[in-house]
Amino acid sequence: MKKVLITGGCGFIGSNLSDYLRRKGFKVYLIDNFSNNKTDIPIKKSLLYKKDINKINQIKNLKNISAIIHLAASADILISKKNENKYYKDNISGLQEVLRFCSEKNVKKVVFASSASVYGDTKNKKVNENFSLKPNHYYGYTKLIGEKMVETYSKINNINYTILRFFNIYGPKSNAVVSTFLAQKLQNKIITIFGNGEQRRDFLHVDDLCGAIWKVLVNKKSNKKTYNLGSGKSISINELVKKISYSKTKNLMKRNDDIEISIAQISKAKKELNWKPKIEIEKGIKKTLTLDFKRLKKVKLISLKEQTNLIKKFNT
């Protein structure tokens, strides 16, 4: 049985991916420092290392790992601006330790979770992987540096790698926009929209994302490649609210650097990985609501005042 290690394995994507890969027959190990206050462990405790990735090289008993899927990161754009040191530690120095672990433990492949944010302002274009990389906030900057570290370190140390640029991933256990809107509806609160809501985003269901990561693990064509992973379609935030069918909404101030349209060109992943997204947004929203109902009903939502303060702080 192939062994894989998922960093950030107790987070939103990591916990979904851990279930998915176990169903596909992998033996899955996780490392996570629980910085997101996660309490649900998606795996037997013996397969979890509760540790910061900066200390991953203290793990001595883990051998014959065929791949590391590196998801651990600080990933909130708004918070990244005033927390450069934390983002540096998690996203850059932590990655360096993960790469060193790959080399010392003879791990054959590293899959790096990058982000659409490496593109920055895409001038409303559907972007392919060759689009210029000009991130416009600190989080995107750490992902861009991360990509370069993965490419260079892997070349020097003869490790295979794949870089995946995730667009907006949604599904059970997420705390991002789709889940926030669902929770606001279930808790009879106001749905809060940044700006006028006409900004368009490319939403990919986490099951489709896991399907792509699985293809990357089993398909050698993906070695030393970079892929966009999105749905290839965009919807506006106002359209998303309509699909959630809830009328209590409030528009808050716009984030200064928020781009109008973010949409992935996914033909490269479709062709080379023989993958395509299967879950339409309507079905994905229903699925998320059904599977995550209990958590969404009681998840702690930040107040209107706190949201406004966060944006104000970001915009200054």
Ligand X SMILES: NC(=O)c1ccc[n+]([C@@H]2O[C@H](COP(=O)([O-])OP(=O)(O)OC[C@H]3O[C@@H](n4cnc5c(N)ncnc54)[C@H](O)[C@@H]3O)[C@@H](O)[C@H]2O)c1
Structure tokens at 258: 């928020």
Amino acid making up residue 208: D
Range list of H helices, the chain: 12-23, 77-80, 84-88, 94-104, 138-157, 177-186, 206-218, 237-244, 267-273, 281-298, 304-315
- Pick the closest to residue 137 from 206, 84, 203, 199 (CA basis): 84
Task: Kindly tell me which residue out of 113, 177, 182, 210 binds ligand X, with binding defined by CB under 6 A.
Answer: 113
Strand partners, 67: 4, 109
115 is a site residue for ligand X (CB under 6 A): yes
Please say which residue, 140 or 184, places its beta carbon nearer to ligand X: 140
169 is a site residue for ligand X (CB under 6 A): yes
Binding to ligand X (CB under 6 A): which residues in 259-288? none
Task: Kindly tell me which residue out of 4, 5, 6, 8 binds ligand X, with binding defined by CB under 6 A.
Answer: 8
Residue with tokens 């669902």: 182
Cα-Cα-Cα-Cα dihedral sign, residues 73, 20, 56, 153: negative
Please say which residue, 71 or 237, places its beta carbon nearer to ligand X: 71
Can you give the three-state secondary structure of 85-151, one letter per residue?
HHHHHHHHHHHHHHHHHHHHCCCCEEEEEEEHHHHECCCCCEECCCCCCECCCHHHHHHHHHHHHHH
Please say which residue, 172 or 188, places its beta carbon nearer to ligand X: 172
98 is a site residue for ligand X (CB under 6 A): no
Structure tokens at 123: 């001038």
Instruction: Write down the least CB distance from residue 258 to ligand X, Å.
Output: 15
What's the CA gap between 205 and 303, in Å, rounded?
A: 27
Question: How many residues touch ligand X (CB under 6 A)?
Answer: 27
Task: Kindly tell me which residue out of 43, 68, 73, 77 binds ligand X, with binding defined by CB under 6 A.
Answer: 73
Structure tokens at 254: 């716009």
List 29, 139, 153, 170, catalytic entry: 139
176 is a site residue for ligand X (CB under 6 A): yes
Window contacting ligand X (CB under 6 A); options: 12-20, 60-68, 231-239, 255-263 = 12-20
**Chain position whose Cβ is nearest to ligand X:** 11
Whether 31 contacts 58, CB under 8 Å? no
Please say which residue, 15 or 154, places its beta carbon nearer to ligand X: 15
226 is a site residue for ligand X (CB under 6 A): no
Instruction: Write down the least CB distance from residue 137 to ligand X, Å.
Output: 12
Residues binding ligand X (CB under 6 A): 8, 10-14, 32-36, 38, 52-53, 71-75, 90, 94, 113, 115, 166, 168-169, 176
